[in-house]
Chains A and B, each alone.
Chain A
Amino acid sequence: MSEPRRKPRTVHMEDYVPIVGAPEIQELHALASRLKGRSVQMVNSTSVGGGVAEILSRLVPLIKELGLNIRWDVMTGGDDFFEVTKAFHNALHGAPYEKPPESFEIFLAYNEQNRARLEMDSEFTIIHDPQPVALINGRKDRTGHWIWRCHIDLSQPNPKVWDFLEPYVLRYDGSLFSSPDFTHPTPIPQYLFYPSIDPLSEKNRDLEPEFVQGVLERFEIDAKRPILTQISRFDRLKDPVGVVQAYKIVKRYFDCQLVLAGGGAADDPEGGKVLDEVREVSAGDPDIFILDLPPWSALEINALQRASTIVIQKSLREGFGLTVTEALWKKKPVVASAVGGIPIQVIHKHTGMLAHSVEGTAYQLRYLLSNPAFASRLGRHGHEHVREQFLITSALSRYLTLFLHSMDHS
């Protein structure tokens, strides 16, 4: 395994020139030139762990390098606060809300505590997710531009929680969503802000072929035969059992291997059960590799994706699906379910293949294995699609455009 949590090397804007091109980086500088010295504040609820912290840890230094005066603050709270916000999170995804009415007071008390602690006087304030949403109380006389960045699927929220949060959300100047599918109708503008991957991170950077080969050898995977891979935590919503069923259909026609790599089984009892079920349906097949990897396996995941012939994401429900983005970036043909943010990334027959069932997934896999030239073209187009829309440089461009638009229309 790679070392646990190495400090990532500092990257600079110029490092992205070979990836997206010099003119694109020059344009980011040009966009930022009108915003030099302007103050920006990002607020979320955790400094490490989770996708939001990961994105901010890479985005904030780049915005600073572009000359904006950016600050990243993390809200603090006790266990009681985070228990409430976890229940909020589930309820906003449509789950029942069982907490007592006092839970709303706990939520507001911690928001108020943080409002008093944090300086909230930036020209542009981006509040991430529901936890700090009531910090809007710190806005002075409608000064500055306040934007709420919602990273979760808000399409069918539990009304008990949404009715409580909505009045705060409506006091923002706008909101940002990862997919049109995730929005909830509101009178404030809703902007589309795709999540992004960093092509220079350990999960996505180019790897030496020897390293990739080494990883395959370590897991005893045969590099000479087709490798079908799904990278996901062991969770029923990722349907790993369905992936094995699809593989078994494909196996009748092709001498291929299946890699199911992910984590989450060690610290999640439900994940452990799913892992057992996957092992049960895979029993006796030496060509199925079930890899329960620790959280610091970014390089191994990267290598497994790069070694794959086809990457699968057969989720039953999905967020944006950044594992799909990662696979597309690596020029891999992808077969994925048409759920969550996946259809935005996988344009059927152009940047990948969409499927709606076990049999459909198996059919698309067989089709791609039979038509390697077409598979390769999907991979190339998928890579371009990610370069255009889902890289950190596109996220930078969106933020700068948002700031300029807000400034010009204030």
Chain B
Amino acid sequence: MTKALHPFQFATATYLTCICNQRATRLAELQRGLAECSDASIFYHTFHSLRRHHFLTEGFSDDFAQWIMAACNLAELAEQLASLDLREYSNLTSLRNDIRSRVAGYCQAFPERAQQKAFEAFYFAEAIEVTLPLGIEAGTLEEFHQVLGKLSNASFHFHFVTSRLRLHLRNNDFSLWLSTALGLDDLAQRANRIDLYTNTLEAARQQLLDLISQEFAA
């Protein structure tokens, strides 16, 4: 069993939600809010939303799409936003730009719909992250497999989802370590392809555990 020179250090993140003094009661106001809100707010309503609603695998992607669907009843735009895959983004600026351009395009095409009052307001919020090393490390694939099986959803999300924003890569902490520390490039790539939208976090973790088990068997 290959032992890594640099063991994987497991950590977790908890979040405080800060409510901004900014809200939208119609799509046109959401459009303005998207231009003015902080990156922490974009993070909260997309990456963090995925964690809060990880148990939903059907028709739910982020807070913006959900509000546009449920409160504004604009299925077409909701679908456009829902199709954005967070795994494709390694920074919040490009994610914000893509959301903004879709919303702006829709508002321009259907100005009267952009002014329709929503059933309920959208409140912009920010996620304030507090990270915490768990004091657990793995030096081999076997140790990694053992710890992964006992990891919380919060820790898994931290390493597997939000890591893209820290790494500024279309990659996650686990895949990066598997590739660079253990030389398991194929396993790393397969891990990075696990679909977070059709799986709950538990199911995604189970898939990663299964991939590692297959690696042991190979």
Contact = CB atoms under 8 A, between A and B. Distances in A.
B125 interface: yes
Name the interface size band of chain B. 35 or more
Interface in B11-56: 12, 14-19, 21, 23, 52-56
Given A23-B151, A180-B123, A347-B66, A191 B19 contact: yes
B55 A192 contact: no
B86 to A, nearest CB: 18
Given A27-B154, A180-B23, A192 B17 contact: yes
A401 B15 CA distance: 7
B134 A350 contact: no
A177 interface: yes
B159 to A, nearest CB: 13
Interface in A106-161: none
A267 interface: no
B93 to A, nearest CB: 24
Contacts of A190: 18-19, 21
A189 interface: yes
Nearest to B122: A180
A185 B21 contact: yes
- Give the residue among B54, B55, B150 with the most A Cβ atoms within 10 A: B55
Q: Chain A: interface secondary structure?
A: helix
Interface of A: 21-24, 26-27, 30-31, 34, 177, 180-181, 183, 185-186, 189-192, 338, 343, 347-350, 354, 356, 381, 384-385, 388-389, 397-398, 400-402, 404-405, 408
A410 to B, nearest CB: 14
A305 to B, nearest CB: 21
B150 A405 contact: no
A130 B153 CA distance: 36
Contact of B19 (A24, A183, A343, A350): A183
Contacts of B187: none
Contact of A23 (B14, B52, B121, B155): B155
B132 A31 contact: yes
Given A30-B134, A402-B16, A405-B130, A23 B150 contact: yes
A385 B16 contact: no
Contact of B12 (A21, A27, A189): A27
Contacts of A180: 19, 23, 123, 125
